[in-house]
Amino acid sequence: MKKFYKSLSEKDKRRYAAIESQKLGWGGISYIMQLLGCSRNTIIKGLEDLEKMDSETLNSSRIRKKGGGRKSILSTQIGIDAAFLEVLKNYTAGDPMNELIKWTNLTHKEIASGLRTAGFTISLPLVGKLLKKHGYVKRKAQKKQTIGINKNRAAQFKNIARLDTE
């Protein structure tokens, strides 16, 4: 029984423990609780599942109900998209041949810092999700050999910002 119980999903464990406790009658919940190492609430929830079981419940492949868990900060923080685009406004460049391809020279940490000053606390993985959501791609270098370090690297972005304000 213990080996079989451990091989089941969470939902099936509840139901199996409930069925076994019903077979035993009075004191069955306590005995199964000790035998399988589950809680009384698990067995009681399993009994409730068995009472309201229908064809939809039997055919469901989900273990938990939809909508559980904490919602993403991207869906709960109002205005985060506008603040994100404002942070990247002067640091965005793109492919002149394809307007859908754009990138930024800011790091994830710099973007998170910019959003922090706008009043949003955001993690680095969420910055990556925001970049993906708004169509930013990782720029891939095409050259094979380095030609040196250019000290005026940021000039392109400053020029774009100047042209944008004009």
Whether the pLDDT of residue 62 is over 80: the answer is: no
pTM of the model: 0.48
Give CA 67 to chain center in angstroms: 13
Q: Pick the closest to residue 84 from 51, 112, 53 (CA basis).
A: 112
Whether the pLDDT of residue 88 is over 80: the answer is: yes
Q: Please answer whether residues 66 and 41 qualify as being in contact, where contact means their C-beta atoms are separated by less than 8 angstroms.
A: no
Q: How far is CA 44 from CA 31, 107, 155, in A?
A: 13, 51, 67
Question: pLDDT tens digits for 14-35?
Answer: 888 888 888 888 888 888 888 8
Mean pLDDT of the residues in the chain = 82
77-89 mean pLDDT? 89
Residue with the bigger pLDDT between 142 and 86: it is: 86
Token pair 């100047």 is found at: 162
